[in-house]
Amino acid sequence: MLRENLYHKGYMAGYRAGIADACKEKAAYKVEEELAMLPVNDMGLSTRACNCLTRSGCETVADVMALDGYRIATMRNLGPKTACEIAKWLQGHGFGGSVWGKYL
C-alpha cells in the first residue's frame, strides 16, 4: 500500500509539472508572437539602426528576422557596429539563430 501511494504521488507531481511546462511554453510563444509584431521604432535601437531598417522596408521585428544575408550586407548606412547592435537586441529578446548571428 505504501508503494502504491508513492507511485501515485510521483505520477501526479510529474503530471502537474508536465502541465505547468506546457502552460509556460504557450506563454513564451505568446510573448514571442507579441515581440515579433513590435514596430521597429519601438525596439529601442539607435536612430541610425531604425533608419536603416525602415529604409529597407522593415516595419516589425518579424520583417527584420525575414531579411536575408545579401539584403543585410547591402543595406545603406549599415556598418558593423549598427549590425551588431541589431543582432544583440534580437539575441537578447530570444530571436537568436538567425542570419543576424554572424554580426555578433
Q: Which residues contact 78 (CB under 8 A, 6 or more apart)?
A: 49, 52, 72
Spans of the chain, pLDDT less than 50: 1-2, 5-7
For position 104, what pLDDT does the model report?
84
For position 6, what pLDDT does the model report?
47
Distances (CA, A) of 74 to 39, 79, 81: 22, 10, 15
Mean model confidence pLDDT for the chain: 79
Which grid cell sits at 22? 506546457
Kindly report, residue by residue over 68-98, the tens digit of the pLDDT.
Answer: 989 999 999 999 999 999 999 999 988 877 8
pTM (predicted TM-score): 0.71
